[in-house]
Amino acid sequence: MTEWFGSPLFGIVLCIGAYMLGIWINRKLKTPLANPLLIAIVLIILILEVFHIPVECFNQGGDIVSLFLAPATAALALQIYRQMDVLKKALLPVLIGSAVGSITSMGSVYLMCRLFRLDEKLTMSMLPKSVTTPIAMELSEQGGGIVPVTVAAVLVTGIIGAIAAPFFIKLFRVKSPVAAGVAIGACSHALGTTKALELGETEGAMSGIAIGTCGLFTVLFAVFLM
């Protein structure tokens, strides 16, 4: 049994199995609150704690799964290509929306950190919370932040966005799929985009393009804040 836990296959199987169970629960309950990723995270933590499995054993396979994050994000380009005509017509609003989203995200985090008198390391760790994980980790490291805190902030931001996006779209009566997609991608990166893809192909494509453009804007704005 110990050899099984020490194998990379353990982490890979646990990640895939927990997420598949999360999808099944989500389909049964039919509520945004039953987010598959959130369910998978809780299940994995419970299994590691109950069976006293060292996190290092899980990471041997978990790190392999993490390698697919960047290719999975890049694969969103296919959705963007399919919606190229829509993107051409709405290019300026998409760029402006992404820029405003990045400024709002980083500015609000900076002000809140100053308000609660958090130290410089935590501030730098939280600033890139709304961009995709690889970019956020790099910015945090360059700014002297704590990378694990950054990863946690990105994860929480994405899950909240995926859960809350349908509610806020209804609340503010957002009719444009382009606006809905950009808003989701700008505030909750790839995790939110998974929900945008469920809402529609246009929403998914615009959310995907917002991930890239917001990443670029965040890197530029970070020069002034980090």
Q: Which phi and psi (to 5°) does residue 173 adopt?
A: 50, 50
Q: Which phi and psi (to 5°) does residue 218 adopt?
A: -65, -40
Distance CA 49, CA 74 (A): 34
Torsion over CA of 205, 154, 147 and 21, rounded to 10 degrees?
A: -90
Domain assignment present for 72 = no
Residue 68 is classified by DSSP as: T
Distance CA 221, CA 107 (A): 10
- pTM for the model stands at 0.79
Q: Which of 4-18, 61-75, 149-163 has the lowest mean pLDDT?
A: 61-75
Tell me, yes or no, whether 21 and 122 share the same domain. Answer: no
Of the three residues 27, 45, 67, the one that is the final residue of a domain is: 67
Please tell me the predicted confidence (pLDDT) of residue 130.
Answer: 86
Domain assignment present for 87 = yes
Contact, 40 vs 19, CB < 8 A?
yes
Tell me, yes or no, whether 51 and 83 share the same domain. Answer: no
Tell me, yes or no, whether 155 and 107 share the same domain. Answer: yes
Contact, 184 vs 161, CB < 8 A?
yes
Scan for tokens 């360059």, then name that residue.
142
Q: Is residue 37 very low, low, confident or very high in pLDDT (cuts 50, 70, 90)? A: confident
Domain assignment present for 54 = yes
Tell me, yes or no, whether 96 and 133 share the same domain. Answer: yes
The model's pLDDT over 94-138, given as tens digits with 9 standing for 90+, comes to 999 999 999 999 989 999 999 998 888 888 999 888 888 888 888
Q: Which of 3-12, 26-35, 113-122 has the lowest mean pLDDT?
A: 3-12
Tell me, yes or no, whether 207 and 109 share the same domain. Answer: yes
Tell me, yes or no, whether 201 and 96 share the same domain. Answer: yes
Contact, 163 vs 78, CB < 8 A?
no
DSSP secondary structure letters along 30-49? --TTS-HHHHHHHHHHHHHH
Domain assignment present for 175 = yes
Q: What is the overall mean pLDDT for the chain? A: 86
Q: Which phi and psi (to 5°) does residue 85 adopt?
A: -65, -40
Tell me, yes or no, whether 124 and 27 share the same domain. Answer: no
Tell me, yes or no, whether 56 and 145 share the same domain. Answer: no
Least Cα distance to 11 among 50, 42, 54, 49 occurs for 54
Tell me, yes or no, whether 63 and 81 share the same domain. Answer: no
Distance CA 167, CA 25 (A): 20
Distances 46 to 82, 101, 157, 163, 173 between C-alpha atoms, Å: 40, 35, 22, 22, 39
* Overall number of domains in the chain: 2
Q: Residue 216's domain spans which residues?
A: 77-225
